[in-house]
Structure 1
Amino acid sequence: MSEVKIKELRSDIDELNELLKLSKRKKIQDILSLEIRKLETEWINLKETENASTPMDTTLAPTTSTSAQKKYQIKLNGYGWDQSDKYIQVFVTLKNVHTVPKDQVYCKLTDRSMELHIDNLDNKDYLLVINKLLEPINIAESHWKQKTDRVVIFLAKSRPNVKWSHMTEIEKKFEDQRNNRFKTDDSEKKDPQESIMSLMKNMYETGDDDMKRMISKAWYEGQHKKKTDTLDL
């Protein structure tokens, strides 16, 4: 299932990149770039999980248990992150995680990777792996906290005040490759309006409030510019 999902995401990203190359208005380019980045993050997380998985690649993998009831390990893909001058903060949402004893919620860290382990939550073990961090971290000053329905990991930056553009090297690599491709690729001249408008409609119908506001603003400004151009003529 994950392999099929990875292929579908890659196809979606490639098609969005083609539309981005054809688009002319900055607002449209910003919206397409945002959607591409979201899909690429999801694609990268799935790829990392696929590469790190055992030969038995299932969402629920039985783990060793001394009891008659089997425990399962669930590999987590989703997380949020933010940063301050000193820390990269990783947010993992998981219902009832605050009820797990503290010694069963822990991280294994290296200077360029982190693993979050949550053991025996409703008879399941949870694992989040993030490899190839963009910058090295200070393991001794890193820590984590359990909060209501979530865990927050504080990864201390080895170089405080250095802003991370991405969470991992892989994400930055794909972003750089995409930007370089746009600079060097001399695409064919053709009218992109029909494909872009169809995509924008779909993104508006399925997007969140911020996405809808961006699309509405871009549409309004585009229509206003058309009227102004006509009056000038």
Structure 2
Amino acid sequence: MSESKINELKGDIDELNLLLKQAKRKRVQDLLSVEVRKLETEWISLRDSASSATPMDVSPIPTTSTVQEKRYQVKLNGYGWDQSDKYIKVFVTLKNVQNLPKEQVYCKLTDKSMELIVENLDNKDYTLVINKLLEPINVGESHWKQKTDMVVIFLAKQNPMSKWSHMTEIERKFEDQRSNRFKNDDLDKKDPQESIMSLMKNMYETGDDEMKRMISKAWYEGQQKKKDSTIDL
């Protein structure tokens, strides 16, 4: 799946979240939330698939002996992540990494960065560097594990129970700038309720039977309330 498709999905999710903040009716909020969760699930799946298939920069490591087998330095760019109350969990896919001795798989950590190093896996040395983490981590309580075709790094949150919106400060800054541009360029020019109605129409046309049923019910109940208000007056 192309990177443009992943970016397009991310943009749709961001726009839906902005419209969700503008929505005032509970049922409309529920409908938007369902669509956000649906797109987020698709986006995570595509992102993880792209991460495992991302081309990697490979360059040979000079050796001092012609007899010694060549080793290559591989810079990893793709990874997945999740979080619990205590940990940020980073998932790095590497085939057969479970077969390496533990001393060849390790991390260098600071309170705001991590570097995964995997030595001599099929004659390659792998590194993954993540700088400027969104929040500080507790180095002493962090650890990592080798699993089948994967390394999982457990970064202990310095502030347990905090929820990270992004993995790094740079990612959050980028999203904030994008959101601000959307608000300035679109929300000031367009009625939020009109945007929501247009979005719901598109959701109805492209949604499954359950989504159509929910939208039809929300529209019907809204029309009934309008009629009741008119009669009361």
TM range (shorter): 0.5 to 0.7
CA pair 20-88 structure 1, distance change in 2 beyond 3 A: closer
User: TM-score, with normalisation over the residues of structure 1?
Assistant: 0.63
Which structure would you say has the larger RCO, counting Cα contacts within 8 Å and 6 or more residues apart? 1
Residues 1:30 and 2:33 are matched in the alignment: yes
Q: What's 1:223 paired with?
A: 216
Deviation at 1:221, TM superposition (A): 0.7
Where structure 1 has 5 or more consecutive residues not aligned to the other structure, the ranges are 47-57, 205-214
Report if the CA contact (8 A) 1:21-1:187 is conserved: no
SS where residue 32 of structure 2 aligns? helix
1:1-233 to 2 correspondences below 5 Å: 5=3, 10=7, 13-14=10-11, 25-30=28-33, 33-34=36-37, 35=39, 38=43, 59-66=56-63, 67=68, 69=70, 71-85=72-86, 87-177=87-177, 180=180, 185-189=187-191, 192-193=198-199, 196-197=202-203, 201=206, 217-228=210-221
Opposite residue 221 of structure 1, the aligned amino acid is M
RMSD of aligned Cα (Å): 4.0
Whole-angstrom CA distance in 2 between matches of 1:166 and 1:17: 13
Opposite residue 63 of structure 1, the aligned amino acid is P
Where structure 2 has 5 or more consecutive residues not aligned to the other structure, the ranges are 228-233
Deviates more, 1:19-28 or 1:107-116: 19-28
CA pair 88-183 structure 1, distance change in 2 beyond 3 A: same
Whole-angstrom CA distance in 2 between matches of 1:186 and 1:170: 27
For the pair shown, the structure with the greater C-alpha radius of gyration is 2
How many residue pairs get aligned? The number is 201
CA pair 176-33 structure 1, distance change in 2 beyond 3 A: farther
